[in-house]
Amino acid sequence: MKRILDVAACSLVLMFLWPVLLVVAAAIRLESRGPAIFKQSRVGKDGREFTCYKFRTMFSGTGDIPTHEVSASAVTTLGGYLRRFKIDELPQLFNVLAGDMSLVGPRPCLPSQVELVQERRRLGVLAVRPGITGLAQVRGIDMSNSGRLAEVDAQYVRTQSFVGDLKLLWATLRGQGVGIDQVVRT
């Protein structure tokens, strides 16, 4: 049932939002050099790595590190808005269609976040597809505290349900967790 919701919802959203995606991509290219789409290796279901897509919100050449370790000066002006309203996440709808992600689940982390990957493996979190949004995001928990994040992710895995996923999607659409950006403010 979850996969059906993922494919149906993503298809519907992309059918209506494709012009917006094109405008955002063009605006990114006009503001700064580099591709509009940012590709990054992430850890998915069963610990398998996949390529995650996002709109680029930082200047080209910013290191491949977790957001909570990135300086705010690396974020472009437009990127700040895209991050604040989570528009940068929209290309992940293609990851959902490809089966690498789900709409709801634990956020995929970088392979370099070894402690988080190990905690998630230990707690059984890697048994599910990562999501665009999830319980930790709605609660405002970022990846800077691996233990706490893995525990909340495990709670999601233990209690997940179709209705629960719908509630998390609704909370996300209402703005819960939106505006939380953990880049380093200097």
Angle between helix 114-123 and helix 146-159 axes, rounded to 10 deg: 30
Tokens of 13: 């959203």
From first to last of its 186 residues, the chain has per-residue pLDDT tens of: 899 999 999 999 999 999 999 999 999 999 999 999 999 999 999 999 999 999 999 987 776 666 667 777 888 999 999 988 889 999 999 999 999 999 999 999 999 999 999 999 999 999 999 999 999 999 988 888 899 999 999 999 999 999 999 999 999 888 876 544 555 444
Residues in contact with 9: Cβ distance below 8 Å, sequence separation at least 6, in sequence order: 103
What stretches of the chain adopt beta strand conformation (E)? Answer: 37-43, 49-55, 102-104, 131-133
Question: What is the spatial distance between Cα 159 and Cα 19, in angstroms, rounded to a whole number?
Answer: 37
Angle at 26 between CA 169 and CA 39, to 5 degrees: 60
According to the model, what pLDDT value does residue 49 have? 98
For the chain, count helices (H), then strands (E): 7, 4
